[in-house]
Amino acid sequence: MSHAGRGRGMVLVSTLLLLVVVTLLAVGMFRSFGLVEKIAGNTRDKGRALQAAESAQAYAEWWLSQGNGGPGVACETVMTSGLAQVCANPLTSPVTVPWVNGAAPVGVTYTPPNMNVTTSSSPGSYYATPMFYITYLGLAPGGTGVVYQIDAVGYGGSPSSVAVVESFYSVSSGVQSAED
Protein backbone atom coordinates (compact mmCIF):
# COMPACT_ATOMS: atom_id res chain seq x y z
CA MET A 1 0.00 0.00 0.00
CA SER A 2 1.35 3.39 -0.93
CA HIS A 3 1.58 6.50 1.23
CA ALA A 4 -1.32 8.06 -0.67
CA GLY A 5 -3.61 5.12 0.26
CA ARG A 6 -2.64 5.42 3.93
CA GLY A 7 -3.29 9.17 3.78
CA ARG A 8 -6.76 8.60 2.44
CA GLY A 9 -7.41 6.09 5.23
CA MET A 10 -6.33 8.63 7.86
CA VAL A 11 -8.59 11.28 6.33
CA LEU A 12 -11.51 8.85 6.54
CA VAL A 13 -10.79 7.97 10.20
CA SER A 14 -10.31 11.67 11.13
CA THR A 15 -13.55 12.60 9.37
CA LEU A 16 -15.48 9.86 11.16
CA LEU A 17 -14.07 10.93 14.55
CA LEU A 18 -14.98 14.56 13.83
CA LEU A 19 -18.50 13.46 12.83
CA VAL A 20 -18.90 11.54 16.12
CA VAL A 21 -17.74 14.58 18.15
CA VAL A 22 -20.13 16.94 16.32
CA THR A 23 -23.01 14.46 16.78
CA LEU A 24 -22.33 14.23 20.53
CA LEU A 25 -22.26 18.04 20.78
CA ALA A 26 -25.57 18.32 18.91
CA VAL A 27 -27.25 15.69 21.12
CA GLY A 28 -25.97 17.52 24.23
CA MET A 29 -27.34 20.83 22.95
CA PHE A 30 -30.79 19.36 22.29
CA ARG A 31 -30.88 17.84 25.78
CA SER A 32 -29.92 21.16 27.36
CA PHE A 33 -32.68 22.94 25.40
CA GLY A 34 -35.23 20.57 26.96
CA LEU A 35 -33.81 21.29 30.42
CA VAL A 36 -33.95 25.04 29.82
CA GLU A 37 -37.59 24.73 28.75
CA LYS A 38 -38.41 22.83 31.96
CA ILE A 39 -36.66 25.47 34.06
CA ALA A 40 -38.56 28.25 32.29
CA GLY A 41 -41.87 26.43 32.82
CA ASN A 42 -41.13 25.88 36.51
CA THR A 43 -40.19 29.54 36.95
CA ARG A 44 -43.42 30.62 35.24
CA ASP A 45 -45.50 28.32 37.48
CA LYS A 46 -43.71 29.57 40.59
CA GLY A 47 -44.48 33.18 39.65
CA ARG A 48 -48.11 32.37 38.90
CA ALA A 49 -48.50 30.58 42.24
CA LEU A 50 -47.03 33.58 44.08
CA GLN A 51 -49.32 36.00 42.23
CA ALA A 52 -52.37 33.86 43.07
CA ALA A 53 -51.40 33.72 46.77
CA GLU A 54 -50.77 37.48 46.90
CA SER A 55 -54.13 38.10 45.23
CA ALA A 56 -55.94 36.04 47.90
CA GLN A 57 -53.97 37.84 50.61
CA ALA A 58 -54.87 41.28 49.20
CA TYR A 59 -58.55 40.27 49.05
CA ALA A 60 -58.46 39.14 52.70
CA GLU A 61 -56.88 42.47 53.73
CA TRP A 62 -59.53 44.37 51.76
CA TRP A 63 -62.28 42.25 53.34
CA LEU A 64 -61.00 43.11 56.82
CA SER A 65 -60.77 46.82 55.95
CA GLN A 66 -64.49 46.77 55.11
CA GLY A 67 -65.34 46.25 58.79
CA ASN A 68 -65.72 42.49 58.65
CA GLY A 69 -63.26 41.70 61.45
CA GLY A 70 -64.00 40.52 64.94
CA PRO A 71 -62.69 38.13 67.57
CA GLY A 72 -63.29 35.11 65.36
CA VAL A 73 -65.05 31.79 65.51
CA ALA A 74 -63.82 28.20 65.45
CA CYS A 75 -63.12 27.50 61.78
CA GLU A 76 -63.91 23.94 60.79
CA THR A 77 -64.60 23.93 57.04
CA VAL A 78 -63.76 25.49 53.68
CA MET A 79 -65.85 28.54 52.78
CA THR A 80 -66.15 30.72 49.68
CA SER A 81 -64.96 34.34 49.74
CA GLY A 82 -68.56 35.57 49.89
CA LEU A 83 -68.79 33.84 53.27
CA ALA A 84 -65.32 34.77 54.58
CA GLN A 85 -64.69 34.60 58.28
CA VAL A 86 -62.16 35.39 60.98
CA CYS A 87 -60.92 32.33 62.83
CA ALA A 88 -60.21 32.11 66.54
CA ASN A 89 -58.16 28.93 66.10
CA PRO A 90 -54.74 29.43 64.45
CA LEU A 91 -53.46 27.07 61.78
CA THR A 92 -51.26 24.33 63.21
CA SER A 93 -48.96 24.56 60.17
CA PRO A 94 -49.55 27.45 57.74
CA VAL A 95 -46.85 26.07 55.42
CA THR A 96 -48.34 22.59 54.99
CA VAL A 97 -51.18 22.73 52.48
CA PRO A 98 -54.03 21.98 52.21
CA TRP A 99 -54.76 23.44 55.64
CA VAL A 100 -56.69 21.19 58.01
CA ASN A 101 -58.36 21.44 61.39
CA GLY A 102 -58.35 17.88 62.64
CA ALA A 103 -59.09 16.02 59.41
CA ALA A 104 -61.32 18.64 57.78
CA PRO A 105 -59.87 21.12 55.28
CA VAL A 106 -60.22 24.77 56.36
CA GLY A 107 -59.86 28.20 54.78
CA VAL A 108 -61.67 30.54 52.47
CA THR A 109 -61.46 30.13 48.69
CA TYR A 110 -61.03 33.20 46.53
CA THR A 111 -61.07 33.14 42.75
CA PRO A 112 -59.70 36.37 41.28
CA PRO A 113 -61.50 37.75 38.20
CA ASN A 114 -60.53 36.01 34.94
CA MET A 115 -58.70 33.15 36.68
CA ASN A 116 -59.12 29.77 34.98
CA VAL A 117 -58.90 27.01 37.58
CA THR A 118 -58.67 23.36 36.57
CA THR A 119 -61.86 21.39 37.23
CA SER A 120 -62.87 17.83 36.50
CA SER A 121 -64.62 18.95 33.32
CA SER A 122 -62.16 21.55 31.99
CA PRO A 123 -58.43 22.08 32.24
CA GLY A 124 -57.38 25.53 33.41
CA SER A 125 -54.22 27.54 33.84
CA TYR A 126 -54.14 27.06 37.63
CA TYR A 127 -54.19 23.78 39.52
CA ALA A 128 -56.49 24.95 42.34
CA THR A 129 -58.35 27.98 43.64
CA PRO A 130 -56.31 30.27 45.92
CA MET A 131 -57.28 30.29 49.60
CA PHE A 132 -56.75 32.43 52.66
CA TYR A 133 -57.12 31.98 56.40
CA ILE A 134 -57.55 34.93 58.79
CA THR A 135 -56.61 34.44 62.44
CA TYR A 136 -57.60 36.88 65.19
CA LEU A 137 -54.46 37.79 67.22
CA GLY A 138 -55.92 40.37 69.61
CA LEU A 139 -55.76 44.07 70.29
CA ALA A 140 -53.02 46.18 68.75
CA PRO A 141 -50.50 47.84 71.11
CA GLY A 142 -52.18 50.86 72.67
CA GLY A 143 -55.61 49.32 72.14
CA THR A 144 -56.35 51.40 69.02
CA GLY A 145 -57.13 48.50 66.76
CA VAL A 146 -57.10 44.77 66.18
CA VAL A 147 -54.30 42.63 64.70
CA TYR A 148 -54.94 39.69 62.36
CA GLN A 149 -52.68 37.12 60.76
CA ILE A 150 -53.48 36.35 57.13
CA ASP A 151 -52.14 33.20 55.50
CA ALA A 152 -52.76 32.72 51.78
CA VAL A 153 -51.92 29.95 49.35
CA GLY A 154 -51.87 29.92 45.55
CA TYR A 155 -51.07 27.28 42.95
CA GLY A 156 -49.49 27.41 39.52
CA GLY A 157 -50.34 24.85 36.86
CA SER A 158 -49.56 21.78 38.99
CA PRO A 159 -49.92 20.64 42.61
CA SER A 160 -46.15 20.97 43.07
CA SER A 161 -46.09 24.68 42.14
CA VAL A 162 -47.45 26.23 45.31
CA ALA A 163 -46.75 29.47 47.17
CA VAL A 164 -47.72 30.39 50.72
CA VAL A 165 -47.59 33.99 51.96
CA GLU A 166 -48.31 35.37 55.41
CA SER A 167 -48.95 38.88 56.69
CA PHE A 168 -49.98 40.62 59.85
CA TYR A 169 -52.72 43.17 59.29
CA SER A 170 -53.90 45.79 61.76
CA VAL A 171 -57.33 47.37 61.54
CA SER A 172 -57.34 50.63 63.48
CA SER A 173 -60.33 52.19 65.11
CA GLY A 174 -61.03 55.68 66.31
CA VAL A 175 -60.45 59.16 64.96
CA GLN A 176 -57.03 60.63 64.44
CA SER A 177 -56.19 64.28 63.92
CA ALA A 178 -54.65 65.20 60.58
CA GLU A 179 -52.22 67.46 62.44
CA ASP A 180 -50.49 64.56 64.21
120: containing domain:
3-172
Output the pTM of the full model: 0.75
- Output the 3-class SS for 84-100: CCEECCCCCCCCCCCCE
Whats the size of the chain, residue-wise? 180
Q: Please check whether residue 45 lies inside any domain of the structure.
A: yes
Q: Please check whether residue 106 lies inside any domain of the structure.
A: yes
Q: Please check whether residue 152 lies inside any domain of the structure.
A: yes
List the chain pLDDT tens, one digit each, 180 residues: 555 556 667 888 888 888 888 888 888 777 766 777 788 888 888 999 999 999 999 999 999 998 888 888 988 888 887 788 999 999 888 888 888 887 888 999 998 888 878 665 666 688 889 999 999 999 888 878 899 999 999 998 888 899 999 999 998 865 554 454
Q: Please check whether residue 74 lies inside any domain of the structure.
A: yes
Looking from the CA of 44 toward its CB, the CA atoms found within 13 Å total 10
The number of distinct structural domains making up the chain is 1
Q: Please check whether residue 179 lies inside any domain of the structure.
A: no
